[in-house]
Amino acid sequence: DQQVKQNSPSLSVQEGRISILNCDYTNSMFDYFLWYKKYPAEGPTFLISISSIKDKNEDGRFTVFLNKSAKHLSLHIVPSQPGDSAVYFCAASRANSGYALNFGKGTSLLVTP
Amino acid sequence: DGGITQSPKYLFRKEGQNVTLSCEQNLNHDAMYWYRQDPGQGLRLIYYSQIVNDFQKGDIAEGYSVSREKKESFPLTVTSAQKNPTAFYLCASSPPTVMNTEAFFGQGTRLTVV
C-alpha cells in the first residue's frame, strides 16, 4: 500500500516560472519529509527536507511546505531552470521503522527554455 | 573522498542464478538500506540495517537476503526465489539512527536477468 503518493507523473514548466510539485501521505506517524532529485540510471540526490514540527523550509530556489492537517507537502522551485529537469521523489520517514524512507512514485519535471 | 559505492553498475545473470550486489560506504554511517526501482515506480525498500550484525526486512524482502558483518558493507543477494529480479537497485546509508536525516545514495546497479 503506497503511503506516499505523488499523483502527477509529469509536469512541464517554462524557464523562469515557478514549479510546484505535490505530495500526499497517509501515515500520520511520519515525522520527517524529504525531496530527492534523480536523473536516469543514477542514484537520487538529496534536495531539501522538513521536520513535522515546521511548516516551511527554504533553501535558495527551493522551498518545501508542509500541511500536516491535510497530510500534504509541496516543493516550490523559483525560478525554474532547464537544469532542474529531472524526476523528483517525495519521501517520508518515521522513527519506528529505522528512519527508512518511504518514497512516492516520482514526478518528472521538464523545464523548457 | 567519502561516499557510497555500488558495484557493478550493470549486471547480467541467467534466470535461476543467485547474484550478489555490492554496497560499500566510507561515511561512517550506521544505517544502510537497499531499495529497488522499477519503471514508473518509486523506490521500494527491500532491507535495512541500523547496526552491524542486525538487519530488518523492508516492504519487498521476499527473494532477497542481506548481511551486515562490517559497518562499511551491506551486500544484497538476489536469489532465484525472486520472481522479477530485473530492476535498478539502489543502496543508501545515513548517520546514526537517533534522529531523522537524509540518506545518501549510491549510483545504483542495473540487474538484468535473462
Using an 8 Å Cβ cutoff, are A88 and A103 in contact?
no
Rounded CA-CA distance A75/A57 in Å is 10
Q: Please answer yes or no on whether B35 and A103 come within 8 Å at the CB atom.
A: yes
Report the DSSP pairing between strands B4-7 and B10-13: unpaired
The β-bridge partners of B12 are B112
Note the pLDDT of residue B39: 84
In B, minimum Cα distance to A31 occurs at B100
B112 has a pLDDT exceeding 70: yes
Note the pLDDT of residue B100: 66
Rounded CA-CA distance A67/B4 in Å is 33
The β-bridge partners of B113 are B13
Looking at every residue in chain B, the average pLDDT score rounds to: 91
Identify which of B4, B97, B99 has the shortest CB distance to residue A98. Answer: B97
Complete DSSP assignment for B15-47: TT--EEEEEEE-S--SEEEEEEE-TT--EEEEE
Note the pLDDT of residue B97: 58
Note the pLDDT of residue A73: 97
Indicate the pLDDT class of residue B91, thresholds 50, 70 and 90.
Answer: very high
Indicate the pLDDT class of residue B1, thresholds 50, 70 and 90.
Answer: low
- Number of residues that this document lists for chain A: 113
| pLDDT tens-place string over residues A84-105 | 999 999 999 887 776 788 999 9
B98 has a pLDDT exceeding 70: no
Q: By percentage, how much of chain A surpasses pLDDT 70?
A: 98
Using an 8 Å CB-CB cutoff, list chain B residues near A45. 105
Using an 8 Å Cβ cutoff, are B16 and B65 in contact?
no
Report the DSSP pairing between strands A32-38 and B10-13: unpaired
In A, minimum Cα distance to B31 occurs at A98
Q: Please answer yes or no on whether B100 and A101 come within 8 Å at the CB atom.
A: no
C-alpha cell at A96: 519506528
Using an 8 Å CB-CB cutoff, list chain A residues near B39. none
Using an 8 Å Cβ cutoff, are A109 and A87 in contact?
yes
How many Å lie between the alpha carbon of A51 and the closest alpha carbon of chain B? 8
Report the DSSP pairing between strands B109-113 and B87-94: antiparallel
B2 has a pLDDT exceeding 90: no
How many Å lie between the alpha carbon of A92 and the closest alpha carbon of chain B? 10
- Mean pLDDT score, A62-90: 97
- Mean pLDDT score, B56-69: 95
| pLDDT tens-place string over residues B7-52 | 999 999 999 899 999 999 999 999 999 999 998 888 999 999 989 9
Mapped onto helix, strand or coil, the DSSP state of residue A24 is strand
Q: By percentage, how much of chain B surpasses pLDDT 70?
A: 94
Note the pLDDT of residue B95: 83
A36 has a pLDDT exceeding 70: yes
- Mean pLDDT score, B103-109: 94
Check the CA dihedral A102-A104-A106-A107 and report its sign: negative
Indicate the pLDDT class of residue A41, thresholds 50, 70 and 90.
Answer: confident
Note the pLDDT of residue A59: 96
B50 interface with A at CB cutoff 8 Å: yes
| CA distances, A64 to each of A47, A76, A87 (Å) | 10, 6, 16
- Mean pLDDT score, B57-79: 96
C-alpha cell at A111: 523545464
